[in-house]
Structure 1
Amino acid sequence: MSGHGEGTTLEYTPTFVVAGVCTVIVGISLAVERLIHYTGKYLKKKDLKSLYEALQKVKEELMLLGFISLLLTVLQSSITKICVKEGLTHHFLPCKLVSEGGESSSNSTGATSHYQRLLAEATSGTGYCAGKKMVPLLSVEALHHLHVFIFVLGFVHVTCTVLTVVIGTAKIRQWKHWEDSIAKVNYDTGQVLKPKLTDVHQHAFIKGRFLGFGKNSAILGWLHSFLKQFYGSVTKSDYIVLRLGFVMTHCRGNPKFNFHKYMIRALEDDFKKVVGISWYLWIFVVVFLLLNVNGWHTYFWIAFVPLILLLAVGTKLEHVITQLAHEVAEKHIAIEGELVVQPSDNHFWFHRPPIVLFLIHFILFQNAFEIAFFFWIWLQYGFDSCIMGHVRFIIPRLIIGVFVQVLCSYSTLPLYAIVTQMGSSFKKAIFDDHVQKGLVGWAEKAKMKKHLKTATNGSGQGSSTAASIMGVQMGRVAGKGSAPEEIQPTAGS
């Protein structure tokens, strides 16, 4: 029958089979599309603009995965016709080749059965490479497995990232009762809640940050910060003092500013950046696939990367709070009995708080990569696959993956949400949506007015873009300054 060289073609496939398969595939695709659509409508209805934009980012990632899938399918026949010498494929193998006698071997004579299978696979088609006494660079089966791996990686990464942010946000929302208690006092008195004390060192914020003998020992200070991320990473006294420092520095002491709501908005904005798979993360995937060589146990050692980075990030964030506490205590920054911390970029790596977000993005991806790789190997090749490794390697990888996921969700992400606000500048999320829209409108009018003035005078240096104008308007003025008086953050911010 025609078409039996590589399998039955559609010419000789029952129509009910074709129609049935298409119905299932299209049905699943439409169900996912509708789910995303209604989720987007719900987020817009609840005015969760940042999460809606993050959902659009997820759709972009799905489109990218779909394009990669299409590209691999279209180029499949071309890729399998790239022929190489058999000896070239003897090196950098994830598993040892098995000879006909069942003994492991890495030389050409011990790979007889393996390459007989490859040649048989090539001969079953056009025999393109077999006719040249060569083997395909990538077999059809291997190409299909790579196809599945890329899809699983994208799906697991998006799922783990969403799960982490949802759990982390839920943890942060537990702090709302602290904000409510502060707001109640502020509304009653019209003043910012400021801790009153006669001795700076007796405040819970200072006492809880290892001030005593730890202040003179860098090692003990870092050790305390390392351990602190596992229990009580953010206490009520931490929240009150850090909130006060932010309000006094960036909001001109506005007593009605909702710091908690601002943190949630800022975290939702950052979520848009971590949900995607950036180009440098794809480079990491390629490097790992290159180094996954038999005997190197790369799949095991790579599991420690997200763990080490996560512990380093958590320790650094805790240490920033400790530095603020020591700074207050050593300089006795208590004006009229009021404890005040001074936010500064100098406490962060290279004086750049955004580096923390970059590392969290990489940690989430790396951990998702480990989980995706494990399940892909398990489902594709079986639990006893040589790529999977021994049980003594598998169990630690699973434990590390779960530990990283839990710690990042319950500790590191909430820490990031509050500690990164201790930088020298604030994020645009400090303004309500209607204020942001007002700023954009103001910038557009200013830009148009600038153009008209330039056209009238017939000369000029050119006009700034709306984005730069908005940046100046939102920038820090009057020294450390805040936004202009007419756009000061309010209670709803």
Structure 2
Amino acid sequence: MAFISAVATQHYHHSAETLPTSTTNNRVKYVFQCQSKRAKRSLEETPTWSVAVVFFVLVAISIVIEHLIHVVASWLKNKHKRALYEALEKIKSELMLLGFISLLLTVGQDLISKICIPKSVGNSWHPCQKDRFSDSEYEDSCAAKGKVQFVSAYGIYQLHIFIFVLAVFHVLYCIITLGLGRLKMRKWKAWEDETKTTEYHFYNDPHRFRFARETTFGRRHLSFWSKSSSLLWTVCFFRQFVTSVAKVDYLTLRHGFITAHLAPQSEVRFDFQKYISRSLEDDFKLVVGISPVLWFSAVLFLLANTHAIALIFTHPPPKKNGADSEFQIMQIILLVGTKLQVIITKMGVRAQEKGVIRGIPVVEPGDDLFWFNRPRFILFLINFVLFLNAFQLAFFMWSWYEFGLRSCYHKHLEDGWGLGFQGTKFCYNAYYGHLRFIIQFLCSYVTFPLYALVTQMGSAMKPTIFSDQVATALRNWHQTAKKHPKHSTPFS
């Protein structure tokens, strides 16, 4: 695989000698001192056996990873998991894109490092204070021209390592997202099985008349707070932490979906939980993708990591410098979860307008309940939160490894919480790790499955209503019909 080979080759090129210390100044000094003293050996001066060993290890690792991906793809095909197979292909495409970026950095390293810019431009937009490295001594090929390098070779190498870390965290977050989502849906299976029992149909006799407010669904959603917009959003905000998907909500939405889109006799035969699971997998292939908008947000993150600016994409700055981006990301996912809860309650309010109902309350689907009449917009927000959370955690781990917690990327550790560096370090690690885990957990275990359920209440029915075998048969039939159109009819 080009990505693994490019990263390992670049790391081997810059790590032939062990750096004596982890501090930023000494690492930079040491690397460029080694370069000035011609410490790097070329392949002409390197034993062939060491070159062969490095080459063999890189190829072996690449082949093993490629084989594992092939095994997973074959298993998904055999299990007729078309959506997950497409998601795997999309992950491979994203890794290939990162591999190409890594390869371009390797090939263009010398060319980029030879670009010279004026000192006035090079001394702007630093992540650290201007005088932090004023005494640093390192070789700059542009110094003779009175200029500075656009990006040094060592800086390109560090960026190279960051791309590798980003790829690892992107794949890891994708696996966690799907795993937690399916874990949440597993408990819905028992509710689905209950709809096949005699007791369920007796209790929800479609010939029995009831007031909508007296049903279990009505008692949960139809109260004094549902009449006030502010109280409605407040209750729905806290509800996502307790029972994001209650049993009565699942059964009512199931009944509303079947009533709107299927025949009445499908109430017993239709497996709504399996349909939701297929819809989750279908949405997952969109969540794992990285759109141009997300790449642009990543560029803004890197651009805004400067001492002079505190934007939404920056790391947690000192208290005096502004808001915390982690809490802003959490606010987005909490807003999405609250909106989904509000949609369920509003469907209950609509059902109440009928007064008297028969059997289970019938909630009416509609895109008008969603922001901009677009249910997919919520999926974009979920995708945005997952990507940005993975990106920022990857950036944090990379900057910790490359520069340590005393670097200017973690300036608030020095300005921060009045506990001394060691105490602040412990508190910050606990704070940062737990907050990232909470965001990932809320997004994957609470919001994403809730989205898969509530979006079935849109105006349109998803193609995942058909099983993978039926969907494949329909696509094949459609392709065959296009290739062999009728040229004549019995009446021609």
Q: Provide the residue aligned with 1:440 in structure 2.
A: 475
Q: Provide the residue aligned with 1:369 in structure 2.
A: 391
Q: Provide the residue aligned with 1:421 in structure 2.
A: 456
Residue 193 of structure 1 and its aligned partner are, at CA, apart by 7.3
| Aligned residue type for 2:64 | A
Instruction: Tell me, in whole angstroms, the C-alpha distance in 2 between the residues paired with 1:442 and 1:41.
Output: 24
When structure 1 is superposed on structure 2, of 9-18 and 293-302 the one drifting more is 293-302
1:264 aligns with 2:277: yes
Secondary structure of 2:409 counterpart: coil
- Identify if the C-alpha distance between structure 1 residues 193 and 234 changes in structure 2 by more than 3 Å, giving closer, same or farther: farther
Q: Provide the residue aligned with 1:234 in structure 2.
A: 245
Q: Deviations over 1:329-369 (max 9, x none)?
A: 133261x3442111111111111111111111001001111
Q: TM-score, normalised by structure 1?
A: 0.82
Instruction: Tell me, in whole angstroms, the C-alpha distance in 2 between the residues paired with 1:384 and 1:193.
Output: 67
Q: Deviations over 1:2-27 (max 9, x none)?
A: x9747211110122221222222222
- Identify if the C-alpha distance between structure 1 residues 5 and 195 changes in structure 2 by more than 3 Å, giving closer, same or farther: farther
Q: Provide the residue aligned with 2:438 in structure 1.
A: 403
Q: Provide the residue aligned with 1:320 in structure 2.
A: 343
Q: Provide the residue aligned with 2:303 in structure 1.
A: 290
Contact 1:233 1:318 in 2 (8 A): yes
Contact 1:158 1:276 in 2 (8 A): no
Task: Return the structure number with greater relative CO, CA threshold 8 A, min gap 6.
Answer: 2
| Aligned residue type for 1:240 | L
Q: Deviations over 1:305-345 (max 9, x none)?
A: 321110110000000101011111133261x3442111111
Contact 1:197 1:338 in 2 (8 A): no
Instruction: Tell me, in whole angstroms, the C-alpha distance in 2 between the residues paired with 1:32 and 1:185.
Output: 51
Contact 1:246 1:343 in 2 (8 A): yes
Q: Provide the residue aligned with 1:203 in structure 2.
A: 215
| Aligned residue type for 1:380 | E
Residue 34 of structure 1 and its aligned partner are, at CA, apart by 1.4
2:90 to 50, 57, 61: 57
Secondary structure of 1:303 counterpart: helix
Instruction: Tell me, in whole angstroms, the C-alpha distance in 1 between the residues paired with 2:275 and 2:255.
Output: 14
Q: Deviations over 1:273-295 (max 9, x none)?
A: 11122211111111111111115
1:384 aligns with 2:406: yes
When structure 1 is superposed on structure 2, of 422-431 and 325-334 the one drifting more is 325-334
Q: Provide the residue aligned with 2:294 in structure 1.
A: 281
Q: Provide the residue aligned with 2:233 in structure 1.
A: 222
Secondary structure of 1:198 counterpart: strand
- Identify if the C-alpha distance between structure 1 residues 194 and 318 changes in structure 2 by more than 3 Å, giving closer, same or farther: farther
In structure 2, stretches of 5+ residues that fail to align are 1-35, 317-323, 418-427
1:250 aligns with 2:261: yes
Instruction: Tell me, in whole angstroms, the C-alpha distance in 2 between the residues paired with 1:214 and 1:24.
Output: 64
1:359 aligns with 2:381: yes
Instruction: Tell me, in whole angstroms, the C-alpha distance in 1 between the residues paired with 2:386 and 2:466.
Output: 28
| Aligned residue type for 2:68 | L
Q: Deviations over 1:169-211 (max 9, x none)?
A: 111121101101112349999x9975955222111111112x2
Contact 2:113 2:152 in 1 (8 A): yes
Instruction: Tell me, in whole angstroms, the C-alpha distance in 1 between the residues paired with 2:205 and 2:41.
Output: 76
| Aligned residue type for 1:427 | K
Q: TM-score, normalised by structure 2?
A: 0.82
Residue 66 of structure 1 and its aligned partner are, at CA, apart by 1.1
Instruction: Tell me, in whole angstroms, the C-alpha distance in 2 between the residues paired with 1:448 and 1:283.
Output: 41
Q: Provide the residue aligned with 1:164 in structure 2.
A: 177
**5 Å matches for 1:97-112?**
97-98=130-131, 104=132, 112=134
Instruction: Tell me, in whole angstroms, the C-alpha distance in 1 between the residues paired with 2:205 and 2:191.
Output: 12
Instruction: Tell me, in whole angstroms, the C-alpha distance in 2 between the residues paired with 1:415 and 1:141.
Output: 46
Residue 223 of structure 1 and its aligned partner are, at CA, apart by 0.6
Residue 399 of structure 1 and its aligned partner are, at CA, apart by 3.2
- Identify if the C-alpha distance between structure 1 residues 192 and 271 changes in structure 2 by more than 3 Å, giving closer, same or farther: farther
Instruction: Tell me, in whole angstroms, the C-alpha distance in 2 between the residues paired with 1:264 and 1:14.
Output: 56
1:96 aligns with 2:120: no
Secondary structure of 2:195 counterpart: helix
Residue 233 of structure 1 and its aligned partner are, at CA, apart by 1.1
Residue 142 of structure 1 and its aligned partner are, at CA, apart by 0.8
Residue 408 of structure 1 and its aligned partner are, at CA, apart by 1.4
- Identify if the C-alpha distance between structure 1 residues 328 and 138 changes in structure 2 by more than 3 Å, giving closer, same or farther: same
In structure 1, stretches of 5+ residues that fail to align are 99-103, 105-110, 458-493
| Aligned residue type for 1:323 | K
- Identify if the C-alpha distance between structure 1 residues 370 and 22 changes in structure 2 by more than 3 Å, giving closer, same or farther: same
Contact 2:194 2:200 in 1 (8 A): no
| Aligned residue type for 2:334 | L
Contact 1:185 1:193 in 2 (8 A): no
1:307 to 312, 330, 345: 330
When structure 1 is superposed on structure 2, of 129-138 and 285-294 the one drifting more is 129-138
Residue 55 of structure 1 and its aligned partner are, at CA, apart by 1.2
Residue 97 of structure 1 and its aligned partner are, at CA, apart by 3.5
Contact 1:205 1:238 in 2 (8 A): yes
Secondary structure of 1:135 counterpart: strand
Q: Provide the residue aligned with 1:462 in structure 2.
A: none
Residue 138 of structure 1 and its aligned partner are, at CA, apart by 0.3
Residue 446 of structure 1 and its aligned partner are, at CA, apart by 4.2
1:38 aligns with 2:51: no
Contact 1:76 1:143 in 2 (8 A): yes
Instruction: Tell me, in whole angstroms, the C-alpha distance in 2 between the residues paired with 1:34 and 1:195.
Output: 58
Instruction: Tell me, in whole angstroms, the C-alpha distance in 2 between the residues paired with 1:442 and 1:192.
Output: 40
Count of aligned residue pairs for this structure pair:
431
- Identify if the C-alpha distance between structure 1 residues 287 and 27 changes in structure 2 by more than 3 Å, giving closer, same or farther: same
Residue 44 of structure 1 and its aligned partner are, at CA, apart by 1.9
Q: Provide the residue aligned with 1:348 in structure 2.
A: 370
